[in-house]
A and B are shown apart, each in its own frame.
Chain A
Amino acid sequence: MSIKTRKKKDKIFTLLVMFLSILTILPLFLILLYLIKAGFSALNLDLITKVSRPIGERGGALNSIIGTLIISLLATLIATPISVFTGLFIFEYRKKVVSKILNITVRLISGIPSIIIGIVVYLWMVKPLGKYSALSGSVALAIMMIPNTVTSTVETLEMIPIGLREASLALGASFAKNITKVILPLSIPGILTGVLIGLGRIAGETAPLLFTAFGNPFLNLNIMKPMDTLPLLIYNYALSPFEEWHKIAWGASLILIFIVLILNVLAKWIVSKWNR
């Protein structure tokens, strides 16, 4: 093969790689563009100060925004301690069979379709309690969040230099003190990043909430009662025949994307700060 054809082939390959990469990010830009176009005109003060209203009464999405925050944060509060301790267990006993089984099980959870998690939590909580509730929604989202947070915890723990663990144990630290005074403080930024990314992911979930948090057109702060979230609002309003509600759904989508974006940027920022 002459040098000329080789160069040509190389060029074609490079162009192909570039083309396919652009193809990957193109949908993202198109979605964002369309969302901004459609959602921007829907953005107004009513959207973030008023709750849902019947058609013609110019409602907003305040109940859904607050609901999203409450349900997602509650899910994070449930999922984080469980995930961190599971991650610690998997890492500390990584040579044991139990740990390996646990690791595989956690990965399996992340493969369960979200609608099924919703149905399972419906059977666990909604049916026995006899009512839909924000809490059951949070439990469903927590289950969705656990696998990612466990994985990011284990990855963080793996990055802690063995020398620091040895230094701590060589000073006579007990298992518990080694974890609480050395391992966990060193892992907080990494774990926090995983939690924020997980939070961003569950904030946009609809399916697990359909049978649990259910949705609520009124502003509700009681976690034992049905509560609305932005994805639920988008789901309900987008399916409605009303132009006015479609507009609110676009506005809500934009707010949701914005929340997720902030969480991801925050996570990236923590990582970069930590690496320095």
Chain B
Amino acid sequence: MESIILTIKYLNVYYDNHQILFNVNLDVPEKKITTIMGPSGCGKSTLLRTINRMHEITNMARTEGEILLKGKDIYTMHPEELRSRIGMVFQSPNPFPHMSIYENVIAGYTLKGIRLSKVDKDEIVERSLRSVGLWEEVKNKLFKRGTFLSGGQQQRLCIARALAMRPDIILLDEPTSSLDPAATQKIEELLMKLKDEVTILLVTHNIAQASRVSDYIAFLFLGELVEFGPSTKIFTTPENPKTEEFISGKFG
């Protein structure tokens, strides 16, 4: 049995008076890929955003329940500290257009006001770009703008930017939904390689993708966690009929 890095207990989330998540309980295993899967509008992104408290920015959301990162309640932590321990990658690639590739990778440090020596910066940039397999492709144009890269490369740059902070967990919110199949495949391969160093929490509505990359699957439906278990079990012998209907494409 692997260790649990993140525990979600009895989580309820409301936007205004509208309840989005109902009593969600989830244990996220360390250094595995856990996928949150479900139809559009089921609360996948909301669940992901409550984990690094990004929901506090866009909407005034109210939460009940507990989220523990390595046993520590994240709502007692400072959001800025929490967010550098839990990185996030978004639906469409969003490298900073006014920064070079190099600056994008170390943006997390710059934005926190952490000063690094040139040697440290070089080391972080190379390590992060190597772990997303981008180093060989961009090592000669590190000081060009990140927006000149292809969509897939940009998304890998965004993953590198998140990895540069050496986070415990990376949250990915449908990271391949704006990419072509070849770029998608690259990202999926990358995720399976990255789980050796970091815990990955992936949101997708793509069932095939969930089956290809996940170790664990959480199936979310209408704001409730219907089923959670090892990927192989969910895809072969799901316990809940709703899960079976979803993975066999009856709705979604």
Contacts and interface: CB of A to CB of B under 8 A. Distances in A.
A168 B113 CA distance: 13
Contacts of B165: 171-172
Contacts of B36: none
Nearest to B114: A172
Nearest to B88: A170
A173 B94 contact: no
Given A166-B90, A167-B90, A172 B96 contact: no
B54 interface: yes
Nearest to B108: A171
Interface string B108-141: 1011110000000000000000000000000000
B94 A167 contact: yes
How many residues of B sit at the interface, in one of the four size bands? Answer: 20 to 34
Interface in B163-196: 165
Interface in A186-210: 186
Nearest to B91: A163
Given A170-B52, A173-B111, A186 B97 contact: yes
Interface stretch (B79-87, B212-220, B227-235): B79-87
A173 B84 CA distance: 9
Contact of A172 (B84, B94, B158): B84
Contacts of B87: 170-171
Given A161-B94, A172-B111, A172-B112, A166 B83 contact: no
Contacts of A177: 110-113
A174 B112 contact: yes
A161 B94 CA distance: 9
A165 B58 CA distance: 10
Given A166-B57, A177-B112, A171 B107 contact: yes
A40 B90 CA distance: 59
B96 A182 contact: yes
Nearest to B158: A167
How many residues of A sit at the interface, in one of the four size bands? Answer: 20 to 34
A167 B97 CA distance: 12
A98 interface: no
A167 B159 CA distance: 11
Q: Which of A166, A171, A173, A177 has the largest number of chain B CB atoms within 10 A?
A: A171
Contact of B84 (A167, A168, A171, A186): A171
A177 B107 CA distance: 11
Contacts of B108: 171-172
Interface string B14-25: 000000000000
Given A167-B158, A170-B88, A178 B111 contact: yes
B115 to A, nearest CB: 13
B114 to A, nearest CB: 10
A163 B96 contact: no
10 contacts: A161-B94, A163-B90, A167-B90, A168-B111, A170-B88, A172-B81, A172-B165, A173-B112, A186-B96, A186-B98
Given A169-B54, A170-B162, 6 more contacts: A163-B94, A164-B96, A164-B97, A170-B52, A170-B88, A171-B165
